[in-house]
Amino acid sequence: MKPILPLLILVSLSFASCKSDKEEKKADAGKDKKPPSKVEGFIVTPTVLSQDIEMPGSLMAAEETELHPEVSGRVTGIYFNEGSSVGQGAMLVKLYDGDLQAQLAKLRVQLKVAKETLERYEALLKIGGVSVQEIEMYKLSVNNIQADMNIVQTNIARTSLRAPFSGKLGLRNISIGAYVTPATTISTLRKVSQLKMEFTVPEKYGVGMKPGGQVEFGMENNSKTYSARIIATENNIAEETRSLKVRAVVTNGDAQLIAGAFIKVKIALGENNAALMIPSQAVIPKARNKQVIVYRSGIASMETVTTGIRDSSMVEITSGLKAGDTVLITGLLTTKPGAKVIINKVNKP
């Protein structure tokens, strides 16, 4: 009977230990239960919104091209100064053409002899000294020589680089005596008397970008406002950015505008008298959409929204919310969907 007593004592201690552990877990569970979070809210209220968007863009020359020689050869003459303005057709660079000139001179002599021979045979034909077939052969010889001369003259012309349009030249990349190929960039020619501009707009505003429409733009460190006329848009929406590229012609340019400069384009889209604007910090960006946390009867509800025009502190909500909704603007990282929340401060527009 003695071994039974220690066993009973051990069993009693085990039950006591289990009971103690359960009581501790219940106590800990009560401690882990957090009270409702206290957050700030914002009441969505319709407001008047001037629908103007500002997009980045850049200036560009009306016409721009890199100048390359048509053929390979050694540079024998450079007839322009860096940064100078030139007219259409002006001679810019000349390549060596001595061999071609020699061929042309030879063909000229051959043509002279062939024409003289043809004239003599035509005189003989009148008295029946030669046949018509012989005359035709000499005429063919004259025509062949003239065709060869045209080919050589065309090749000589290709050794001259001329300005394709009037404009301003950039920096020169070659020197006298350099051997160049069609891949060699001699300089850049830009038509800066007329400037264009390029910018992109979000897909939803692309329908308003029609040829003939007017836009305004400005530059950093320049208080003047410039205007431009839309001339064309790209024929598709860019998949990467979901935006449309627009090109316009500057209508009131001046010397302060330089091709390649960064600009800010302002596009007037009218007014919306019932725009729903909320603070930007209320929007939670996700991989495929944007969401906000809405306060509904003390519970946090996650709603997917679509945003529109944005300024420095507010953003337009075009779908997903209605007037009178309360969105959370604090505690966004710690508040989970379905959690209880308490609004301790309400903000209004």
Phi, psi angles (nearest 5°) of residue 347: -105, 145
Pair 142, 175 in one domain:
yes
Residues 99 and 245 in one domain: no
Q: What is the rounded CA–CA span in Å between residue 348 and residue 326?
A: 10
Say if residues 318 and 275 touch (Cβ distance below 8 Å). Answer: no
DSSP 63: E
Q: Which residue segment(s) compose the domain that 155 sits in?
A: 70-180
Q: How many angstroms separate the CA atoms of 325 and 14, rounded?
A: 57
Q: How far apart are the first and last CA of the chain?
A: 85
Helix or strand (DSSP H, E) at 119 = helix 98-126
Question: Do residues 263 and 278 share a domain?
Answer: no
In the prediction, which pLDDT does 12 show? Answer: 53
The answer as to whether 294 is a domain residue is yes
CATH number, domain with residue 227: 2.40.30.170
242 touches 204 (CB < 8 A): no
pLDDT at 346 (0 to 100): 86
Q: Are 185 and 66 in contact (CB under 8 A)?
A: yes
Q: Are 303 and 294 in contact (CB under 8 A)?
A: yes
In the prediction, which pLDDT does 135 show? 86
Q: Which long-range contacts (CB under 8 A, 24 or more apart) does 64-68 make?
A: 64/188, 64/189, 64/190, 64/191, 64/259, 65/164, 65/188, 65/189, 66/185, 66/187, 66/188, 67/92, 67/93, 67/161, 67/185, 67/186, 67/187, 67/188, 67/189, 68/182, 68/183, 68/184, 68/185, 68/186
Residues in the chain: 349
Residues 79 and 161 in one domain: yes
Q: What sign results for the dihedral spanned by CA atoms 222, 228, 231, 233? A: positive
In order of 21, 66, 330, the CA distances from 159 in angstroms are 98, 17, 72
Q: How far is CA 165 from CA 19, 86, 231, 250, in A?
A: 96, 8, 21, 19
Give the count of domains, the chain: 3
46: domain CATH number? 2.40.420.20
Q: Evaluate whether residue 173 is within a structural domain.
A: yes
My answer on whether 250 and 293 are in the same domain is no
In a domain, 224, yes or no: yes
Does 237 share its domain with 147? no
Question: Which of 227, 255, 270 represents a domain boundary (last residue)?
Answer: 270
In a domain, 24, yes or no: no
Q: What is the pLDDT, as a whole number, of residue 30?
A: 46
Same-domain pairing of 171 and 201:
no
pLDDT value, residue 2? 47
Are 157 and 202 within one domain? no
Residue where a domain terminates, one of 270, 301, 319? 270
Clarify whether residues 200 and 58 are in a common domain. yes
Alpha helices (H) along 235-276: none
Residue-level pLDDT at 31 = 46
Same domain membership, residue 266 and residue 279: no
Position 99 in a domain: yes
Query: Does one domain contain both 146 and 88?
Result: yes
Q: 226 in helix, strand or coil? A: strand
> What pLDDT score does 287 carry?
83
Q: Examine residue 185 and state whether it is found in any structural domain, yes or no.
A: no
Question: What's residue 129's pLDDT?
Answer: 79
Q: Please report, in tens digits, the pLDDT of each residue of the chain (349 residues total).
A: 445 545 445 545 454 455 455 555 444 444 445 678 888 999 999 888 776 778 889 999 999 999 999 999 999 999 999 999 999 999 999 999 999 999 999 999 999 999 999 988 888 888 887 888 888 898 999 999 999 999 999 999 999 999 999 999 999 999 999 999 999 999 999 998 889 999 998 887 788 888 998 999 999 888 899 999 999 999 898 888 788 999 999 999 888 888 889 999 988 776 777 889 999 999 999 888 899 999 998 999 999 999 887 776 888 898 999 999 999 999 888 888 899 998 888 887 7
Q: Smallest Cα–Cα separation from 260: which of 200, 215, 193, 195?
A: 195
4 found inside a domain: no
pLDDT recorded at residue 34: 65
Residue ending a domain, among 235, 270, 305, is 270
**In this structure, is residue 187 part of a structural domain?**
no
Clarify whether residues 117 and 198 are in a common domain: no
